[in-house]
Amino acid sequence: MTKLDSISRWRRTRPWWGVYAGTVAVVAVVSGIIWNRTVVLPAYEIGEDFRARIPESGLAQLVSIDVVYSLIAVVGGLIVGITSWVLFKRLGWLVTLIAVLGALIAGIGTRIVGEIIGPRSFEDRIAAATRGELVRVDFAAHTWVPLAIWVAMAVLPIMLASMVRREKWINYVPATPTEATPD
């Protein structure tokens, strides 16, 4: 491949960068909204002695915030990866870097959107609570590990598609019996 071929490939993909950026942004916003709306946040109950208590089931619900984020990462990462492959497969191995970057942006964007929707300011809400009131915890992820799921799921369709895609530069022609050298 010459330098001219490489430049030509980049030029052919130029119109698709806006589409890709828009897709990543839409995936991030929609995923963040879905994430925020599907998680049931646990609540602390303010007792008669003004102590905040949370049941064991509430502690388990804290984990569900990250679990739902991970499940959304599976679908969102696949969308980003498939879009990357469809739009940029001409660029060769660089499509993988594009997918990884898109997945990181979508994953971080999802987290930002979900956490902005809230609720937030737990300390202020619990300080103002009265007896018998339920105060929901802040909506926030507790780990960055699901971001790796975004990346893994974005790379998966590229790996699978590149395995089944026929490359033009592989031209193996087996030797015929007349061309073979005698032993």
pLDDT of 25-59, one tens digit each?
A: 999 999 999 999 999 999 889 888 888 888 888 88
Q: Domain for residue 51, yes or no?
A: no
Q: Domain for residue 155, yes or no?
A: yes
pLDDT of 67-117, one tens digit each?
A: 999 999 999 999 999 999 999 988 888 999 999 999 999 999 999 999 999
Q: Do 39 and 111 touch, CB atoms closer than 8 A? A: no
Tell me what pLDDT residue 172 has.
56
Q: Domain for residue 147, yes or no?
A: yes
Q: Domain for residue 183, yes or no?
A: no
Q: How confident is the model at residue 5 (pLDDT cuts 50, 70, 90)?
A: low
Domain total in the chain: 1
Residue the block writes with tokens 């303010």: 46
Tell me what pLDDT residue 117 has.
94
Q: Domain for residue 84, yes or no?
A: yes
Q: Domain for residue 2, yes or no?
A: no
Tell me what pLDDT residue 102 has.
97
d(CA 86, CA 94): 13
Q: Domain for residue 180, yes or no?
A: no
d(CA 182, CA 8): 46
pLDDT of 127-148, one tens digit each?
A: 888 888 888 898 999 899 999 9
Range of the domain at 107: 15-39+56-121+139-162
pTM for this structure?
0.80
Beta-carbon neighbour count of residue 24 at 10 Å? 24
Q: Domain for residue 60, yes or no?
A: yes
